[in-house]
Amino acid sequence: MKDVKIYTENLSVFFDYIQALNNVSIQIKANRVTSIIGPSGCGKTSFLRTLNRMNDLMHGFKMKGEVKIDGVDIYDDNIDVVNLRKLVGMVFQKSNLFPKSVYENLIFAPKLNNIKDKNKLDEIVERSCTQASIWDEIKDRLNDNALNLSAGQQQRLCIARALSVNPDVLLMDEPASALDPISTSRIEELIFELKKDYTILVVTHNMQQAARISDFTAFFYLGQLVEFEKTTKIFTNPSNKQTEDYITGRFG
Amino acid sequence: MDTQSPYAKKISKRFRAKEKLIKYFFFLNGFVTVLLILLIFLFLLKESFAGYTDFNLSEYFFTEKTLADGSTEKIFEWFPTSEDQRLSIVPLILGTLLTAIPATIISTMLGVFVGIYLSEIAGSRLREILKPIIELFAGIPTVVLGFFMLVVGATYFQDVFFTTSRLNAILAAVGLSFIIIPIIATLTEEALRSIPLELRMASYSLGATKWQTISRVIIPTAVSGISAGIILGFGRAVGETMIVLMASGNAAELTLDVFRSVRTMTATIAAELGEVSAGSQHYFALFFIGTVLFIGTFLLNLIAELIINKMRKKIRF
């Protein structure tokens, strides 16, 4: 399939002797939003972190199987993890801005790529903030400490920061779970906007959110991919009993 | 209130003697500690400013000598037992700085790197072995370190640097480093490890390498904690007695040359207080040195504490 962006085949992940993922095979389409749902501890975050190899930093991480992005095996020995992470951006559950100014947060990643020209940096800052629809709010506060922004603004600034390196894929690990409903809906609108340019994976605990924002939904349970379908199908007519029980709130 | 109702009885105030007792017991302990420090300070103050009849406070800093042509010259000398007594503590302050500052510089260079290594580079198993060993250094009795510098260190030192004085400020500074490196190293390590995992994750997820994460995120965030460690290390160097008493040569010279013998404030008190006649001007002068040391180290510790508090507020995660 041409529009498959991320492809895994029999992916299993272990942390020491604990198995976090068990034979996950999935094909995630480009320029679509894919939600990953499932109860706590089902391997959602482990799956997400396998895709930008953040799991490499975890103690006792081992994996089996295949993970391909754009047809390239990202666990190949020739892959540079640092450069991979520039193409696969990540937004975390809790905003984790650096205790520096808004501007410095946004130019952190471009500077890693040796971009030093002030005009170019300014351009990147404006572009990524506009994409994250936060430019109007912070264009006059670029020199403020980033930690003085509101929680919702901080999270959108984290998204802007992730976009500052021009990634292909955006991984979001419960990006709105710590936010109020208004900030949450802003993030959701933003995700909808961003899928034009990016392939987005969102881990969420919020079923309504998954239904609202995503084109595809993957249901994980006990490390296994139980069902992966179009969101409309999964929420109206799931083919698996476990999926149905989880979505209707019978467990989870 | 209707005190007769069963509900009011149930929730009415009770006197809990044990709770009160425990509260006062802990308060008393804290209070006694603070009181003792306060009393020590008051005693120092009282002793250092007692006995001024024909003595001017400025004589603790310089004495004026009339020259042959009638003009006067300020002299800074510590000759407490001479007929013509001179009690300037200036050479002693210089001696303290000449040992403490090089010691802090040496220890900062080594200690900060050791701290970075322990916190960021060494694996957890290696850290669990190395950290106690480094902390053990701080536990070596200082008299042993002083003895080592006096007997072994001094000889090698003279062979390498051809110093005029066998015992000198820089030798004492090296001895001091043994106890200050662990202080700076452990405080650096703690400051770095207090940086939340989320910040490291943010850096790695943006495509930073390990060294870029250390140098651009972790160290800048922890810089105040590291500087607090350096200040505390300096405070310890100023207050340390045994090593400087044994290795610095103890000549109260007015010099800025670290390769010459110096005499520190602490060593002066330790060496002279046992032999001074109580109530003499020399005796009061020694207490005055004590007061200066007390205030100096107190201020250093206070500054370090303030910096650490400020850092905690900065990384509010």
Segment A105-153, tens digit of pLDDT: 999 999 999 999 999 999 999 999 998 889 999 999 999 999 999 999 9
Q: Tell me the residue type at B171.
A: L
> What is the torsional sign of CA A178, A179, A180, A181?
negative
Residue A84 clears pLDDT 80, i.e. is over it: yes
Instruction: For residue B216, give Cα distances in angstroms to B126, B188, B313.
Output: 25, 16, 20
- Read off the pTM: 0.83
H or E stretch at A25: strand A18-29
Tell which residue, B105, B30, B96, has the closest CA to residue B290.
B96
Cα separation, B288 vs B282, whole angstroms: 10
Cα separation, B189 vs B120, whole angstroms: 8
Average pLDDT, chain B: 89
Instruction: Dump pLDDT digits (tens) for B114-145.
Output: 999 999 998 889 999 999 999 888 889 999 99
**Chain A residues with CB inside 8 Å of B314's CB?**
99
Question: Beta strands A216-221 and A224-230: pairing type?
Answer: antiparallel
pLDDT of residue B159: 85
Report residue B177's pLDDT band, with 50, 70 and 90 as the boundaries. very high
Question: Beta strands A4-15 and A61-69: pairing type?
Answer: antiparallel
pLDDT of residue B310: 83
Q: Which of A102-116, B1-15, B155-169, B210-224 has the lowest mean pLDDT?
A: B1-15
Domains of chain B by residue range: 17-49, 86-314
pLDDT of residue B312: 76
Within a 10 A sphere around the Cβ of A78, how many other Cβ atoms? Answer: 6
Specify the higher pLDDT residue, A124 or A177: A124
* Token representation of residue A54: 């953040």
Taking residues B284-298, what's their average pLDDT? Answer: 92
Report residue A221's pLDDT band, with 50, 70 and 90 as the boundaries. very high
Residue B123 at interface with chain A, using a CB cutoff of 8 Å: no
Distance (Å) from the alpha carbon of B202 to chain A's nearest alpha carbon: 6
Instruction: For residue A225, give Cα distances in angstroms to A11, A210, A212.
Output: 10, 16, 21
Contact (CB, 8 A) for B52 and B288: no
Please classify residue A215 by burial: count the beta carbons closer than 10 Å to its beta carbon, then call 0-12 exposed, 13-18 middle and 19+ buried: middle
**Chain A residues with CB inside 8 Å of B198's CB?**
92, 94, 96
Average pLDDT, chain A: 91
Q: Which residues contact B6 (CB under 8 A, 6 or more apart)?
A: none
Tell which residue, B252, B205, B299, B256, has the closest CA to residue B77.
B252
For residue A110, give the chain B residue with the closest CA: B206
Residue A5 phi/psi, 5° resolution? -95, -50
DSSP state of A198: -
pLDDT of residue B47: 84
pLDDT of residue B53: 64
pLDDT of residue B82: 82
pLDDT of residue B57: 78
* Contact yes or no for B205 and A112 at CB 8 A: no
DSSP state of B277: P
Report residue B93's pLDDT band, with 50, 70 and 90 as the boundaries. very high
3-class SS of residue B279: coil
Contact (CB, 8 A) for A93 and A99: no
Residue B26 clears pLDDT 80, i.e. is over it: yes
Residue B54 clears pLDDT 80, i.e. is over it: no
* Token representation of residue A171: 């991984």
Contact (CB, 8 A) for B210 and B268: no
Residue B151 clears pLDDT 70, i.e. is over it: yes
Please classify residue B89 by burial: count the beta carbons closer than 10 Å to its beta carbon, then call 0-12 exposed, 13-18 middle and 19+ buried: buried
Residue B202 clears pLDDT 80, i.e. is over it: yes
CATH T-level topology, domain B86-314: MetI-like fold (1.10.3720)
Q: Tokens 């095979």 belong to which residue?
A: A25
pLDDT of residue A210: 92
Query: For testing the chain B interface, which of A54, A56, A57, A148 should be mutated: the one with the most B CBs within 10 Å?
Result: A57
Instruction: Dump pLDDT digits (tens) for A13-59.
Output: 999 989 999 999 999 999 999 999 999 888 999 999 999 999 998 88
Residue B316 at interface with chain A, using a CB cutoff of 8 Å: yes
Instruction: For residue B100, give Cα distances in angstroms to B106, B122, B205, B304.
Output: 10, 30, 43, 17
Rounded to 5°, the CA angle B169-B250-B139 comes to 65
* Token representation of residue A76: 């190949």
pLDDT of residue B316: 56
B residues 199-238 near A, CB within 8 Å?
199, 201-209, 212, 216-217, 220-221
pLDDT of residue A179: 85
Residue A85 clears pLDDT 70, i.e. is over it: yes
| Total residue length of chain B | 317
For residue A51, give the chain B residue with the closest CA: B205
Taking residues B210-230, what's their average pLDDT? Answer: 92
Specify the higher pLDDT residue, B66 or A29: A29
Instruction: Dump pLDDT digits (tens) for A184-199.
Output: 998 999 999 899 999 9
pLDDT of residue B51: 63
A residues 122-161 near B, CB within 8 Å?
147, 158, 161
Q: What share of chain A is helix, strand, coil (3-state, %, to 5)?
A: 40, 25, 35
Domains observed in chain A: 4-247 (3.40.50.300)
Q: Tokens 């410095």 belong to which residue?
A: A104
Specify the higher pLDDT residue, A169 or B315: A169
> What is the torsional sign of CA B178, B179, B183, B184?
negative
Report residue B3's pLDDT band, with 50, 70 and 90 as the boundaries. low
pLDDT of residue B166: 86
Cα separation, B136 vs B34, whole angstroms: 29
Residue B52 clears pLDDT 90, i.e. is over it: no
Please classify residue A4 by burial: count the beta carbons closer than 10 Å to its beta carbon, then call 0-12 exposed, 13-18 middle and 19+ buried: middle
Query: For testing the chain B interface, which of A79, A85, A94 should be mutated: the one with the most B CBs within 10 Å?
Result: A85
